[in-house]
């Protein structure tokens, strides 16, 4: 698979996971996380290490929250032979609430054309000043 096809595949995987997440279903992400996955989130005191930790967190959130629409802004995939880094901004709309995020995900090539997320880092976008 050529580089542009891989980049497109990774962005499509992220969009599919977001679509499920926005309906309260974490399975889209859980399906693409690696067993040794690590996770930073502004609402967690420490980094979560391992798939079971993130699964536990996500199961506690299952069915909660609803995003009516979102904008994935300027997704960029930086690619090497077996690693890809996806970065983008995310704006989510839920009723009158608007959430603005930075996202960084590190993907690793597990087998032929199978990419899994090994690290995810979410942070809130805050204006300066």
Task: List, for residues 44-95, the tens digit of each pLDDT value.
Answer: 999 999 999 999 999 999 998 789 999 999 999 999 989 999 999 999 999 9
Summarised one tens digit per residue, pLDDT across range 26-39 is 999 999 999 999 99
Buried b or exposed e, range 14-40, using 16+ CB within 10 angstroms = beebbeebbeebbebbbebbbeebbbe
Q: How confident is the model at residue 126 (pLDDT cuts 50, 70, 90)?
A: confident
Domains of the chain listed by start with CATH number: 3-124 (3.10.450.50)
pLDDT at 103 over 90: yes
Query: What distance in Å separates the CA atoms of residue 59 and residue 96, rounded to the nearest whole number?
Result: 26
What is the structure's pLDDT at 41? Answer: 92
């Amino acid at each position: 698979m050529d580089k542009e096809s891989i980049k497109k595949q990774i962005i499509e995987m992220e969009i599919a996971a977001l679509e499920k997440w926005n309906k309260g279903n974490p399975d889209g992400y859980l399906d693409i996380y690696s067993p040794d996955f690590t996770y930073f989130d502004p609402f967690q005191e420490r980094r979560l290490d391992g798939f079971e930790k993130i699964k536990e967190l996500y199961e506690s959130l299952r069915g909660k929250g609803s995003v009516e629409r979102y904008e994935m802004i300027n997704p960029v995939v930086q690619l090497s032979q077996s690693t890809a880094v996806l970065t983008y901004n995310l704006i989510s709309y839920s009723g009158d609430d608007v959430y603005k995020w930075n996202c960084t995900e590190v993907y690793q090539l597990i087998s032929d054309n199978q990419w899994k997320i090994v690290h995810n880092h979410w942070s809130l976008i805050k204006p300066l000043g």
